[in-house]
Amino acid sequence: MTTRLTAVSKRFGRTTALRGITMEVDRGVTGLLGANGAGKTTLLRIMATVLSPDEGELRLLGRNPRDAGDRLQIRRQLGYLPQQTGFYEGFTAYEFVDYVAILQEITGTRQRRSEVRRVLEAVGLTDQMHRHLRSMSGGQRQRVALAQSLLGRPRLLLLDEPTVGLDPLERIRFRQVVSELAREHTVVLSTHLTDDVAALCDQVVVLGHGEITFTGTVADLVTTAAGHVWLADMPDVAAAGWWRTGDGRYRHIGEPPRGARLAPPTVEDGYMYLTGRGT
């Protein structure tokens, strides 16, 4: 079931949010990495059939979203976690997910109940499902939001910055959930956290100013910075970027000076080198 974008572009007035995006996603996790305003949300909204592209072709789960019949079929197999979920604070986790299930026309009370319980269990909230949303932590609420996106066992799961605002333990819990899901789902998640990409993604797509600047594996992304990261006792202002590390040395990204002590690159270095920002 192919999910592929070909030469997709989108403008908002004078702003070009996406230009000539061509990419394919498959089972596993694809990470969309990019700075604020790079176009990640716009891309996910197009894939979620919320927005139409101005130009280009889209195949979602082997279907054409421009066709009304196909679009309905796509939406039935699609899970979407937007950047901001409109929660109803007075609802419990169960009530909220159940409400979304009703909106999705999951018919039959017994079937709906078991589906709501299934998705809450998938995100590890079985014990918390009768707590009110207003009393939950950011991470728990994010898992409730993820749970609603899993209703109906979607084959394509789109997650917009799902780990923003989570503390380290919540992020690890969230990663566990997503990596388990990716065994059977195609997951596309946007983030500006290179740690999430390193931990989760089979494929990485880097967006910069609405264009794809890199597609490959995490290892490929790391390799882009090989030979361009070095450590020194003093900062080198000619580097594209540098910062002082915890051990008092200065880590640099860019063209190394002669005789520099090269360091093995990380995903973050790869991303920084690629974007030419260094810091």
Ligand X SMILES: Nc1ncnc2c1ncn2[C@@H]1O[C@H](COP(=O)(O)OP(=O)(O)OP(=O)(O)O)[C@@H](O)[C@H]1O
**Which positions touch ligand X (CB under 6 A)?**
12, 15, 17, 34, 36-42, 192
Q: Minimum distance between the CB of residue 98 and ligand X, rounded to whole angstroms?
A: 29
Radius of gyration of the chain (CA): 21
Closer by beta carbon to ligand X, 12 or else 88: 12
CB of 125 to ligand X, least distance (A): 26
Cα 79 to Cα 185: distance, rounded to the nearest angstrom: 10
Q: In whole angstroms, how close is the CB of 148 to ligand X at the nearest point?
A: 20
Extract the tokens encoding 128: 């918390």
Q: How far is the CB of 229 from ligand X (least distance, A)?
A: 25
Contacts of 32 (CB under 8 A, 6+ apart): 40, 43, 44, 188, 189, 190, 191, 205, 207
User: Closer CB to ligand X, residue 35 or residue 260?
Assistant: 35
Give the C-alpha separation, 226 to 36, whole Å. 26
Cα 254–chain centre separation: 27
Based on CB atoms, which residue is closest to ligand X, 15 or 52?
A: 15
Residue 41 or 224 having the CB closest to ligand X: 41
The helix (H) or strand (E) run that includes residue 213 is: strand 211-216
Residue 82 one-letter amino acid: P
